[in-house]
Amino acid sequence: MQDAMKLLKNCLFLLMISFAAQADEVITRVIDTHAGHASVTKFSDGSIMVYDAGRYSYADHIVKQVETFATDGVVDLLVLSHTDGDHVGAVPELFAKFDIKKVIRLGYVRCEDRPQSRRSCPWYFANEAIDKAEIEGKTVDINLTETEESIVGNQYSFGETTLSILSAFNIPPESWGLTTGGSEWLKATCRS
């Protein structure tokens, strides 16, 4: 397990060096969302990936940051690591502003009934926006709670960068020695 984590850290370190050396090819911006996470990556072929969508109270800021990357209004891949409100908050605004081609997410239900406010259950509104886009044929929704198909090992290529799905289930195998779950773990591989 330590070897795998060391390899992953080394890969991420190499990516950081690659980003710095070839900033015009792959650029990632971590967006300030206070608590939680949102980031946007532009790959060398112009493809855009958004990883997590931060807090709903930062939605306008998140959309503006993504807009600086997705100037044509297209997001190729939205990955939602888990259903906490500080990771899915701006999803409705992202779908309202951008053409999001594909979503990979855990769809675990956070609340059954429509809440009176987004603050009480941001997941509900994120789920509603994704489901609506899928019904309208605007996105492909890979909801890992609704599929028997494993996406572990799937790869997505963006120019010279390949993202591989390492884990796509709520609880990693015990042999990994990890104590947290609920996220899709991605590994990016650079080709020179």
pLDDT of residue 167: 66
| CA 133 – CA 141 distance, rounded (Å) | 9
Q: Which residues of the chain have pLDDT under 50?
A: 1-23, 180-190, 192
pLDDT, tens digit, 9 for 90 and up, residues 39-50: 999 998 899 999
List of residues 6+ apart from 151 with CB closer than 8 A? 104, 142, 144, 165, 168
In degrees, rounded to 5, the angle at the alpha carbon of residue 57 between the alpha carbons of residues 74 and 129 is 45
pLDDT score, position 14: 30
Report the domain count for the chain: 1
Q: Starting at the earlier edge strand, list the strands of the sheet with 161-167.
A: 155-158, 161-167, 185-190
| Domain containing residue 18: CATH number | 3.60.15.10
21: buried, middle or exposed (CB in 10 Å: 19+, 13-18, 0-12)? exposed
Which stretch of DSSP H or E encloses residue 18? helix 2-21
**CB-based contacts of 93: which residues, under 8 Å, 6+ apart?**
59, 60, 62, 63
In terms of Cβ atoms closer than 10 Å to its own Cβ (0-12, 13-18, 19+), residue 56 is: buried
Neighbouring residues of 164: CB distance < 8 A, sequence distance ≥ 6: 153, 154, 155, 186, 187, 188, 189
User: What is the Cα–Cα distance from 130 to 144, expressed in whole angstroms?
Assistant: 13
pLDDT tens figures, 111-134: 888 888 888 889 999 999 999 999
CB of 48 closer than 8 Å to CB of 76: yes
Determine the residue type at 66.
Answer: V
Q: Could you list the residue range(s) of the whole structural domain that residue 113 is in?
A: 2-190
What local confidence, expressed as pLDDT, does residue 35 receive? Answer: 85
Residue 177, pLDDT score:
64
Q: Model pTM?
A: 0.75
